[in-house]
Structures are given as structure tokens and as C-alpha cells.
Structure 1
Amino acid sequence: MPRLVVVTGGPGSGKSTLVGHLRALGHATQPEAGRAIIQDQVAISGRALPWADPGLFAELMLAWDLRSYRAAAGGDAVFDRGIVDTAGYLRMLGLPVPPHLHNAATTFRYHRRVFAAPPWPEIYQHDAERRQSLGEAKRTYDAIVAAYADYGYEVVTLPRAPVAERAAFLIAAAGLAPIR
């Protein structure tokens, strides 16, 4: 059975760096929806931005994550966030999780262990797409971790360690085949 492994957590905690490292090692990966959606929406003067229309932004993230799930079907893959992240994001904002998002989170399942990158103030940085404060990043982490637990996943906290150590930890804990 394929292992569809999610790396999640708040913004600026090293998730994308870890997923990129795993990709460089030869593992199949799926990119984060949020950053790409923000870049695209800014480029086209769209309104599906977290600071303009968080509900529409969430819908685009869900669509992206469903496409990523289908693209990875049939083999092992590491995801930079997953469908449940969108439910956690909406919860963090105090917005309802629509029934279709709940259905997606219960229908399209990932590996039972989800790997959460905890807030890491020493590496946190703002950029064009990451406007959240460190406090908001921590609230996002808490909401997303709670959402994964509520959907029946075992949340495993990634160590705050160099990327190669984090990758080795995830590979072993997820039971992914090492690639040379």
C-alpha cells in the first residue's frame, strides 16, 4: 500500500525545506498549495488571498490538495501540507469547515502518521507570501495539529534539527524506503 506522508505545521517551521530535501534524495513529493496560490493570485490581481478572501483561498487550497492527492496515487509521496491543513486553517480563523471539506478530509486519507514541524523562532522569516507574525504561526500550528488529531491521525513532532536529521527521522518513522 502506498505511503502518502504529510509534513505539516505552522508557517516558517522548515516544512518546505524538508520536503525539498526529500525530493533531492529522490522521494516523490507534492508541493504546498498556499504559497503557489498566493503567488498566482498576486500575479493576476486575484482575490483568493488569505488577507482578502480566506474562504476562497481555502477553496483553492482544497482543489490543489485534491489534485496533488490524485497525482500521487499509486506510489509513496511526501506532501508539503494536506487536505486537513485547510480545515485547521479555517478553524484557526474561527470560520466553519464546510461539509465538502470535511468529506474530503475523511475520504482522502494519508499515512496514519502525520509529521508536524513545530514553531521554530530561530528560523522563522517573513517574505512576500508569509505575512503572519510568529504568534499567528504558533496559532496556526496548534489549530492544524488539533485538526489532524481530530481526523484520527497520529501527529508526530519533527525534531528541531538540521534538515538531513529531520529527513532521516521522517523516513524511519514513516517507513519510507531509503533512496540512494
Structure 2
Amino acid sequence: MENNNLLRDDFIIITGGPGAGKTTLLDELLKNNYKYVPEVARKIIQTQISSNGDALPWGNVTNYRDLMLDQSIEGYLSAMSNPSNQPLFFDRGIPDTLAYSHLINIPASEKLESAVKRYRYNKRVFILPPWEDIYQTDDERKQDFEEAVATYQVLFRTYEKLEYELIEVPKIGVKERVGFIIKNLL
């Protein structure tokens, strides 16, 4: 049987619970000439709110999860044109959608189970731990810090089960975090 799995070693996931500094870190990587694919969740929430949709983490969670999956796959496929000699960072990966399903206790769809096996990233995944000193809520991030910690724990277990090697990014300044990631890409 033919293997239809895709593996891109140049696709590097940066994940972690909400408010751990992922976007700030990715913006700093961008300043250092590294490109990244933004997370889809925030855009979905903004679009759903503006269109009075219900696919929200506080609304129809299954539809929200399915939109995250579809847009994450679309982002992966769009990134396939990235020259493979240059790392491309992802603000969350498709496995984050599986972790979200576990977190909110909804069964993973067959499509989701298939997607985490088919669309593979570099085996090294950078995970940012919960960091209460920098944690903030906003219009799209309504979780409290305890939920951020729980999200981190579920993400960690999910990526481990999918046989990714997790590298925890230390709680240090953003420039130092960038240096840590670049050093650990090798």
C-alpha cells in the first residue's frame, strides 16, 4: 500500500498554551529573517464574531475545531512551496487541533486522526511553558491561567503520543528565546 504521508523537516512547530509568548517569539524570529505561518484560531474567532457565527471556543466547539483543522491543513499545503533549505515556523501545528479535542473532551474525527498522521513536521517541536508573569487575556483569549496550564499539559501529552521530540523553551527574554531555538534546530 502506498504511503501518502507528507514529512517536511523544514516545518518547525512552536506550540504551548495560550499566553506563553508564541506570537512575540515568532515576530522576533521574523525580524531575524525567519518566516512563519500564523495560528488559525485567532483569525477564526475574529471571523466568527464579525459574521455572528457560532464556531467559537465558547460556542459550537466541534465546528470551531473542524475549522481549525481545515485551515491548518490549508496552511500546511500552502507552505509546501517553502524552499526546504530554510526553516519555516508554524504558530501551532495540526496536532494542536487534536490536543484541543482532548482538552474539551470531544471525540477526534476520523479526518483529524488521519491528518495528524499524514501531515508531519520536523520531529523537534518547541513548546513554551505557561508563564504567569506574561499571561494576559484579551477579546479572543478568554481562558484563565489554570486553563493555560491544562492546555500546555494536554499539548505535551498529545505531541509525545505522536512521537514528536518536545523541546521546552526556557522562560527568558525573547531575543534569548530566539537564540535558544536557532541553536536547537540542529
Question: Which TM-score tier does this pair reach, normalised by the shorter chain?
Answer: over 0.9
Counterpart residue identity of residue 36, structure 1 = K
The match for 1:25 is 32
Correspondence for 1:59: 66
Within the candidate set 12, 31, 40, 1:5 is matched to 12
Q: Work out whether residues 99 and 155 of structure 2, in 8 Å CA contact, stay in contact via their aligned partners in 1.
A: yes
In the other structure, the counterpart of 1:161 is 172
* Structure 1 equivalent of residue 98 of structure 2: 87
Cα distance between partner residues in 2 of 1:89 and 1:145: 12
Q: What amino acid is the match of 2:40?
A: A
Runs (4+) of structure 1 exceeding 3 A deviation are: none
Q: In structure 1, what is the equivalent of residue 53 of structure 2?
A: 46
1:174 aligns with 2:181: no
Q: Aligned residue for 2:121?
A: 110
> What do the CA deviations read for 1:133-170 (whole angstroms, capped 9, x no partner)?
10011111111111111111001100101111111111
SS at match of 2:120: coil
1:129 counterpart SS class: coil
Q: Any stretches of 5+ residues in structure 2 without a counterpart?
A: 1-7
Of residues 132, 140, 151, the one that matches 1:129 is 140
Determine helix, strand or coil for the equivalent of 2:106: coil
Following superposition, the deviation at residue 25 of structure 1 comes to 1.3
1:95 Cα deviation from its structure 2 partner: 1.2
Write the letter of the residue equivalent to 1:3.
D
- What is the deviation of 1:12? 0.2
Q: Shift of residue 2 of structure 1? A: 4.7
Q: Alpha-carbon deviations, 1:85-116, whole Å to 9, x = none?
A: 00001101111111110110011000000000
Shift of 1:55: 0.8
Deviation at 1:171, TM superposition (A): 1.2
How many residues were matched structurally? 175
How far does residue 68 in structure 1 lie from its aligned partner after superposition?
1.1
CA shift, 1:20, in A, is: 1.1
Q: Distance in 2 between matches of 1:151 and 1:29?
A: 22
CA distance in 2, matches of 1:169, 1:63: 31
TM, length-normalised to structure 1: 0.94
